[in-house]
Amino acid sequence: MIHRSSLAAIVAAAGIVATLTGCSMSSDGAPSSTETIKIGLLTDLSGAAGIFGPPTQNAAELAVEEINAAGGVNGQQLELLVADETGVPTAGVSAAQRLIQEDGIAALFGQHNSATRDAVAPVTSDAGLAYFHTPLAEGNFCSANVISNGEVPAQQLAPAIPYLQTETGNNKWFLLGADYIWGQTVLADAEKYILASGGEVVGKELVPIGTTDFQSVITKIKQSGAQLIIPAIFGGDAITFEKQAFDAGVGNSAVQRLGVIYEDGTLGAMGAEVTDGMFVSMAYNEALDTDANAAFLKAYYAKFGDDAPPQSALSEQTYVAIHAWANAANKAKSTTSLDVLTALSGSTYDGPSGTVTFGPDHFATQSIVLTRVQPDGVSVVATTFDSVDAEQTCSEPMGK
Amino acid sequence: MDYAFIVDQGLGILATASVSALVAMGLALSFRLMGIINLASGDFMMIGAYSVLTCVAIGLPYLVGVIAACVIGFLFGALTEVGLLRRFARAPELAILGTFGLGIVIRQIVELIFGKNFQFVENPLSGSVSIGGAEFPLYRLVLIAVSVAVIGALLLVLTVTPLGVKVRAVAADGDLAETLGIQSGRLKLVVFAVSTAMASLAGSLIAPLTNVGPGMGNAYLFVMFVVVIVGGARVSMVLVAALAIAIVQNVTTLVVDSLVAKLAILGMAFLVLAATRPATKGAIV
């Protein structure tokens, strides 16, 4: 009998060990030495948002390579350490703790959802570390050591909603959101801007992250008589929803999409038939026709090959954050949070999508690009909105 | 509430119920016959989805993928029964731990081979058809038809064939059945392999509708177990339970929202447990 129950224990133990080692960390290959300054990247390499991780890791590696080629930070080379936060806040916290305590990173860059940011921010604050939360998020987060350079709903929606109403001649909206702080804020903000521009909200729905069956939600949209929809759901959930909605006759030709996190990787996985005609409002798109973007993309695909995952606002913002941090650290001649963030406040960085201004409110004023997907699945720029303010009111000091 | 709306909802409920019924029926059978609670059921669904994914990726038709999923699910199930579950024969409750561990191992192996990222199977029957004025996705109709056919065939096997009689005999009293010359060991092997093949089939059928990833099974496992809790170990009651839960889930989502729907089916499980729990002698409260 003993060996039977111990077999069960062994199987379970093997599984647990495998799970633990599954959340491993990888280094970017640069030789580890006391001469380098280490920075950490916390990103989603698995889970619902796992699709966003690989291009983000690439963008970060590219930024580090460029900074090192230009002389590094205060004469020292940068070394990038990447950890998977798997979409789980507790996993993000333990990964951040490892990066800080065992690897001694000088700054943390996080491309993950805001639940993880809320959990990780106290850890970086205790360590006196500058922490950049880079992807688009709901805003309204205020902590001395945290910079949120990702676009917020105010930036994505305030100019895009009236533009779309004029463009389509329609104004009946359905709002669909992932049921957590970001989705909830997008829905609340969207309602505010829709009402302000003379539109009407005919339906609202929050769905749990990881929803696999959208049938009833799709029926609700059908019944509401909506002409436009803001789907604030991401990654795998977004792809599942759009594929199911298309098959149920609620595709983009029936209800016009205004995506707020439908980056090109997500759209590509939905298929060209499904995405035809969708609008997306984010801070960056590869389709931007500027010299800065052309140079960025040339360097990106030269380094990672033509098959590399496409860049989107979610990954490009990490590139912007690392460059802006390095510039500020060079200007401050220091890497402590207080010095770097003081130097960062009010500074600008000219990134692939234009000028980004880092305000004393811990957020970034930046341009927003509204793209539309063509029948062949390729996004083209419909219009851009320059220097859009994040409308934030954080009054914490920059760095502590 | 027009006619088209009711047709749309009715078919939607059937589609949701048929997937859970496929898996839950297998769960109920293996529990009844062997006392095994298979916590790796979700992972057998995942194996089915990856079977289809791989077949489609190497250029085989979708249908071949579905058949491959059944075969692979059956073989993996047989292997699991021989290699793992037999060792729990005297203490089946320990199999909860065993299948839990097995599930983790399967997920990790799949992750090593296919990576952590979601992958997608293109819908082989994209678009919708008009039924009674309702636009209903064609693929979901086929899903309902296939599930109903498989479940019907299985019920037929259980009720009218000699094999079905043996299965029911072992389910009623394994030791007594042995004395009548039924080789319950071999029978258990077949039943467990069929149960995992059904989970694998369900996984292959939902693959074009959702994301294929190593952890995809967990999203379904919750509902499957609620179905078995509500339905009990009788196969026919499991089917009723699958339908009842799909109705509660879809209607609550429609009328309230998805979160309340999840709570509602959990509440249903509690109610059924509370109502059917036999009165215990000397119960404290």
Contact across the interface for A208 and B262, Cβ inside 8 Å: yes
pLDDT of residue A27: 45
Please give the share of chain B, as a percent, with pLDDT higher than 90: 50
Any idea what the Cα angle at residue A79 is, between residues A73 and A84, rounded to 5°? Answer: 130
- Nearest-CA residue of chain B relative to A217? B254
Q: Which residues of A touch B136 (CB under 8 A)?
A: 248
Residue B198 has pLDDT above 90, yes or no: yes
Q: With an 8 Å Cβ cutoff, is B220 touching chain A?
A: yes
**Exposure string over B196-209, b if 16+ CB within 10 A, otherwise e:** bbbbbbbbbbbbbb
ipTM here? 0.81
Contact across the interface for B9 and A205, Cβ inside 8 Å: no
Interface of A with B in 158-187 (CB under 8 A): 179
pTM score: 0.83
pLDDT digits (tens, 9 = 90+) for A349-374: 999 999 999 999 999 999 999 999 99
pLDDT digits (tens, 9 = 90+) for A7-63: 455 555 544 544 444 444 444 444 444 579 999 999 988 766 777 899 999 999 999
Q: Which residues of A touch B117 (CB under 8 A)?
A: 45-46, 50-51, 54
pLDDT of residue A48: 67
Lowest mean pLDDT among A24-28, A103-107, B10-14, B268-272: A24-28
Contact present, B268 and B245 (Cβ < 8 Å): yes
- Nearest-CA residue of chain B relative to A211? B219
pLDDT of residue A18: 46
Interface of B with A in 67-96 (CB under 8 A): 84, 87-88, 90-91, 94-95
Segment B17-37 shows an average pLDDT of 89
Segment B1-18 shows an average pLDDT of 86
Q: Which residues of B touch A15 (CB under 8 A)?
A: 100-105, 108
Residue B81 has pLDDT above 60, yes or no: yes
Determine the 3-state secondary structure of A312 from DSSP.
strand
Q: Which residues of A touch B138 (CB under 8 A)?
A: 247
Contact present, B14 and B147 (Cβ < 8 Å): no
Burial of B249 (0-12, 13-18, 19+ CB in 10 A): buried
**Separation between Cα atoms, residue A17 and residue A92, nearest integer Å:** 19
Which residues contact residue A312 at a Cβ distance below 8 angstroms, ignoring those fewer than 6 apart?
A52, A55, A263, A264, A265, A282, A284, A285, A286
Q: Which residues of A touch B262 (CB under 8 A)?
A: 208
Q: Which residues of B touch A18 (CB under 8 A)?
A: 104-105, 108
Interface of B with A in 224-263 (CB under 8 A): 249-251, 253-254, 257-259, 261-262
Q: With an 8 Å Cβ cutoff, is B102 touching chain A?
A: yes
**Exposure string over B253-265, b if 16+ CB within 10 A, otherwise e:** bbeebbeebbebb
**Separation between Cα atoms, residue B188 and residue B70, nearest integer Å:** 18
Contact across the interface for B259 and A206, Cβ inside 8 Å: yes
pLDDT of residue A363: 96
Scanning the structure block, which residue is given the tokens 């941090």?
A325
**Separation between Cα atoms, residue B154 and residue B163, nearest integer Å:** 11
- Nearest-CA distance B163 → chain A (Å): 30
Nearest to A210 among B84, B104, B219 (CB): B219
pLDDT digits (tens, 9 = 90+) for A191-250: 999 999 999 999 999 998 888 889 889 999 998 999 999 999 988 899 999 999 998 889
- Nearest-CA distance B106 → chain A (Å): 9
Alpha helices per DSSP H over chain A: 2-22, 53-69, 89-101, 114-126, 153-157, 160-168, 181-196, 215-224, 235-247, 264-270, 272-275, 291-304, 313-332, 337-344
Determine the 3-state secondary structure of B180 from DSSP.
coil
**Separation between Cα atoms, residue B177 and residue A286, nearest integer Å:** 69
Nearest to A322, CA basis, from A37, A55, A60? A60
Contact across the interface for A207 and B257, Cβ inside 8 Å: yes
Within 13 Å, how many C-alpha atoms sit on residue A375's CB side?
A: 0
Residue B115 has pLDDT above 80, yes or no: yes
